[in-house]
Amino acid sequence: MAKSIMNEAFNGTFLFKPHYKEINGFQMHYVDEGEGEPIVCVHGEPTWGYLYRKFITKLSESHRIIVPDHMGFGKSEIPQNKPYLLAQHVDNLTELLLELDLNNITFIFQDWGGPISFGFATRNPERVKRLVIMNTSVGVAKAHRRLWFESMVEDGTYDQLMGNMKAFIPQIMLGTLARKIPREEKKMLKKAYTAPFPNKESCIGAMAFPKDIPKGDNHPSSKIMQEIRDNLGLLNDKPKILIWGMKDRIFPPKIIEVWNKIYPGTKCYEIENAGHFLQEDAPDEIIEIIKDFIKENP
């Protein structure tokens, strides 16, 4: 595990006791705060539970909040001999939530957190109560589609970029935030998001996620992604909402139409001044939407 940050509170911005369970042979970190019906917040690439720090603080006043860090991210261990593939991440989350014996779960997720959460939810629909879907998608890309990172793989620059999260996160991730961030806060965000990635070996999970975007029938994650997509109907009766950062270039607003076809009539809250990492751009607005959604669907 990232021992150097195990008890790191990042200048008081992440004051949550670390919890660990051995999951599939590695130490998986998760936050477990508050009491009551569980809310599970699931992060994507290249973030960790820090992304949900304000959600934890406010939603734990009335609920039990569980926020896991995926294998190779945040305060979780970074095994060098594991397959960093969608199936592994789904299995990890599943084992954790079943060990915690959670029921009536409200899921909140974004980016890779979507397929991973849906992986659990479609296999355990009886344990799921509500869904908050934010800037994500579930599906297999067409075989002929050109993915954003492929040219870098071909010219040999992919490992240089994705294997150096200390540079990638300030330049790429933080550069996509829509709100204007004060200088001191930006320094703290840089510190918190780069801390899990001190060297190339620690970037193994972050390097794997883009390449795990399933494309065509022969990709190693195509089968499970298609299985998840085919089983989304098992969650038709669950209350759900969409919350979308409208300035997202990775999952642009047109993806909302895809979700409207999967789950017709689902209300969508469009956050105009938010991008891909909408939890950073508009946390207070999103938290209030979620609070109202839970009240309206007791």
Q: Is the dihedral of CA 136, 142, 148, 149 positive or negative?
A: positive
Q: Which 8-state DSSP code applies to residue 77?
A: -
Give residue 211's pLDDT: 95
Q: Is the dihedral of CA 8, 43, 21, 208 positive or negative?
A: negative
Kindly give, in sequence order, each residue whose CB lies less than 8 Å from that of residue 117, ignoring residues fewer than 6 positions away. Answer: 40, 42, 93, 107, 109
Residues 84 and 205: beta-carbon distance below 8 Å: yes
pLDDT > 70? residue 1:
no
Tens-digit pLDDT profile for residues 213-252: 999 999 999 999 999 999 999 999 999 999 999 999 999 9
Phi, psi of 276, deg, nearest 5: -65, -40
Tens-digit pLDDT profile for residues 69-127: 999 999 999 999 999 999 999 999 999 999 999 999 999 999 999 999 999 999 999 99
Residue 201 three-state SS: helix
Mapping DSSP onto H, E and C, the string for 89-133 reads HHHHHHHHHHHCCCCCEEEEEECCHHHHHHHHHHHCHHHEEEEEE
Written as one letter, the residue type at 71 is M
Kindly give, in sequence order, each residue whose CB lies less than 8 Å from that of residue 115, ignoring residues fewer than 6 positions away. Answer: 86, 90, 136, 138, 225, 228
**Residue 153 banded pLDDT, cuts 50, 70, 90:** confident
**Residue 3 banded pLDDT, cuts 50, 70, 90:** low
Ordered by where they begin, the domains of the chain are 3-296 (3.40.50.1820)
Percent of the chain clearing pLDDT 70 (strictly above): 99
Percent of the chain clearing pLDDT 90 (strictly above): 92
Tens-digit pLDDT profile for residues 37-60: 999 999 999 999 999 999 999 999
